Amino acid sequence: MSAYDALAKLGVKGLDRVVAVKINGELADLTTAIDSQAELEPVYVNSTEGLQTLRHSTSHVMAMAVKDLFPGVKVTIGPAVEDGFYYDFDYERPFKEEDLPKIQEKMVEIIKKNIPFACTEMTSQEAIDFFQGLGEEYKVELINDLGAEKVSMYTQGSFTDLCRGPHIPSTGMIKAFALTKVAGAYWRGDEKRPMLSRIYGIAFENKKELRQHIKKVEEAKKRNHAKLGPQLGLFNTYDEIGSGMIVWHPKGAMLRHILETFEIREHLKRGYELVKGPSLLKTELWNKSGHFEHYREHMYFTEIDEQSYGIKPMNCLAHMLIYRSKIRSYRDLPKRYFELGTVHRHERSGVLHGLLRVREFTQDDAHIICTPQQLNDEIKGVLDFVRDIMGIFEFDYELEVSTRPEKSIGTDEDWDMATNALRNAMEDSHLQYDINEGDGAFYGPKIDVKLKDALGRRWQCSTIQCDFTLPERFDLVYIDKDGKKHRPVMIHRVILGAIERFVGILIEHYAGAFPTWLAPVQAVILTVTDRNIPHGEEVLRTLKEANIRVDADFRNEKLGLKVRESQLQKIPYMLILGDKECDIKGVTPRLRDGQNLPLMNTKEFIDLISQESK
């Protein structure tokens, strides 16, 4: 009996929306044969796993269409990703955006034929022979790397692909999809391997959800920080300076200053001490920490007086040396060192993007060195810190524990203790979290905080890493109650993460319309005629003395033009100054959304903006 027939026999409702099945907890095709003892769970198309199955199946349909339309094309991989899918192809020329309508039309033909997906199993050698016969050397490489005795193959019509599945029963279940863009991608992410053409697409359960997603994508384009940032005078990049290097213009520098001042205040309130380490540290120190072995491809190195130095990609080493500079007692712990540290990382040109991926950035980096007994409370303290700060910026978030990667240092015992410490702290705080296997730092597991912005998109920012290994390598100790030396534990953590990246996220989250407390310019004075300028200068001086961030536009231009330009700059308040405002020495505030407030004196406006900022 197939899993589908069994579900029907059990009277499962909405079978037409079931795309796969869990058999004893394992995902499988609906055509899978089962015995009477199997535990079945239907996988509906609108579930996370159901959408992944739908999208991955749609990528196979796209590959079939491309193979039909472009003879000689070679296929590589085509996974499901968040909201969609992609497939990488090797062809005699790069694919173009103009190719997409033709591919999409061919996909519609395939979908209408309602072709079933069929799974077969082959030995690896049989599969290699099959793909070699088709000239598909990328598939042969994948099979050789798998090193498995047998592999599964999925066929729909004339197209067969190496795949572990599962897949939807037939192509006719694909109801709503669209191809979105074409990009270049190196085979297996290696810039020394061939450049492929990657075609992206999206797929949803129905056309309504597809339309909603397309609308959200259009809104995201409007919020694109890489365009909004320069338009708002916040930052820019220049070819003369180099890729991945940000130049902050006056408004952007002010925004950074506000954020950094806010961060310093919040850290001092929570018992952190300010420290600062150098940008260059001897390479032998990076050898000792393990960075040279595990992270050097992301680092820059130089030589001074025949001595090799590494430009820091992280701030932890100097913080450990500060701790080690004197004998510490258990009474001194925890020590919480905080640094707004500028770091440099060698990112490949292809991944650089605006503020989100750069080569120089500043982290709100802190290292907490504590006793093992203090570890639980310290981790919970950081989780509370994250909650408080993200609440101010109106971010929801999700939590994830990333465990030991293959490339790592330290003992299994240390990793188990560190991972359990993170999990226990979240469970004690009644926080839900997911497990992200193998994605920890090379020196310890971590809690990753995934922010959800105004459009529901997820962003990685805060991290909390638990480290038993580096204190061992750097011989960090404290004198305990028994008078003996003991080894402390270290927590590496950031709250906002990279300031550059966080500003980019904020621009998109707020669509550039920052809340008043954060806006680099909180108000702009707009005069109606030249005779209002003396009063405007007086208001400008008064507001600056009150620490209001204010600009002025005294040009002899129409008021409507000045208002429109100020709205485009997304300034929270426009202060209109005409004759009546001059008569009473007041201002008429106008909000950036077009709402007009009553005429008020200058002190009333200062009180208004100060209260709003608080």
Judge contact between 294 and 407, C-beta under 8 A. yes
Query: How far, CA to CA in Å, does 394 sit from each of 46, 390, 509, 613?
Result: 28, 6, 9, 15
Q: Which of 251, 492, 501, 509 is catalytic?
A: 492
Kindly report the number of other CB atoms within 10 A of residue 294's CB atom.
16
β 280-282/300-304 pair status: unpaired
Closest CA to 60 of 134, 20, 117: 117
365 in catalytic set: yes
> Residues near 240 by Cβ (< 8 Å), separated by ≥ 6?
none
Q: Where are the domains of the chain?
A: 1-43, 45-115+166-218, 272-506, 523-613
User: Alpha-carbon torsion 30, 36, 40, 42, what sign?
Assistant: positive
Instruction: Tell me the pLDDT tens digit for each residue of 68-109.
Output: 999 999 999 999 998 899 999 999 999 999 999 999 999 999
List of E strands, 384-488: 396-402, 434-436, 446-452, 458-467, 478-479, 485-486
Q: Which residue has the tokens 């609308």?
A: 215
CATH code of the region 272-506: 3.30.930.10
Does the pLDDT of residue 480 top 80, yes or no?
Answer: yes
Q: Which of 198, 223, 225, 316 is catalytic?
A: 316
Fold of 523-613: Rossmann fold (3.40.50)
Fold of 45-115+166-218: Threonyl-tRNA Synthetase; Chain A, domain 2 (3.30.980)
Closest CA to 108 of 167, 64, 159: 64
Instruction: Tell me the pLDDT tens digit for each residue of 362-394.
Output: 999 999 999 999 999 999 999 999 999 999 999
> What pLDDT is recorded for position 566?
96
> What pLDDT is recorded for position 27?
93
Q: Which of 56, 198, 291, 367 is catalytic?
A: 367
Catalogue the long-range contacts made by 93-97 (C-beta closer than 8 Å, 24 or more residues apart). Answer: 94/182, 94/184, 94/195, 94/197, 95/182, 95/197, 95/199, 96/182, 97/181, 97/182
Quote the CATH superfamily of domain 1-43.
Beta-grasp domain (3.10.20.30)
- Average per-residue pLDDT for the chain: 94
Judge contact between 582 and 602, C-beta under 8 A. no
Question: Of the given ranges (28-32, 110-114, 255-259), which has the lowest mean pLDDT?
Answer: 28-32
List of E strands, 453-488: 458-467, 478-479, 485-486
363 in catalytic set: yes
Instruction: Tell me the pLDDT tens digit for each residue of 273-305.
Output: 999 999 999 999 999 999 999 899 999 999 999
Does the pLDDT of residue 409 top 90, yes or no?
Answer: no
Whole-number Å distance between alpha carbons of 579 and 82? 57
Q: Which of 364, 365, 453, 467 is catalytic?
A: 365
Judge contact between 506 and 393, C-beta under 8 A. yes
Q: What is the pTM of this model?
A: 0.83
- Helices then strands, counting H and E runs in the chain, come out as 19, 31
Closest CA to 166 of 179, 152, 187: 152
β 523-527/573-577 pair status: parallel
Query: How far, CA to CA in Å, does 81 sit from each of 51, 203, 224, 444?
Result: 10, 10, 21, 27
Cis peptide before 334, with omega less than 30 degrees from 0?
yes
The token duo for 376 is 């639980």
Judge contact between 193 and 187, C-beta under 8 A. yes
Q: Which of 67, 345, 535, 590 is catalytic?
A: 345
Q: What angle in degrees, to the nearest 10, is found between the helix axes of 412-428 and 375-392?
A: 50
Whole-number Å distance between alpha carbons of 449 and 422? 13
Instruction: Tell me the pLDDT tens digit for each residue of 554-608.
Output: 999 999 999 999 999 999 999 999 999 999 999 999 999 999 999 999 999 999 9
Closest CA to 516 of 603, 452, 462, 593: 593
446 in catalytic set: yes
Kindly report the number of other CB atoms within 10 A of residue 135's CB atom.
10
**442 confidence band (pLDDT: 50, 70, 90):** confident
Q: Which of 446, 493, 501, 590 is catalytic?
A: 446
Residue type, 137: E
> What pLDDT is recorded for position 82?
82
Q: Which of 156, 363, 465, 522 is catalytic?
A: 363
DSSP at 43: E
Whole-number Å distance between alpha carbons of 472 and 491? 14
Q: Which residue has the tokens 């080493």?
A: 317
The token duo for 326 is 């004197």
Q: 269 burial class (0-12, 13-18, 19+ CB within 10 angstroms)?
A: exposed
367 in catalytic set: yes
The token duo for 72 is 């000689």
Instruction: Tell me the pLDDT tens digit for each residue of 158-192.
Output: 999 999 999 999 999 999 999 999 999 999 988 88
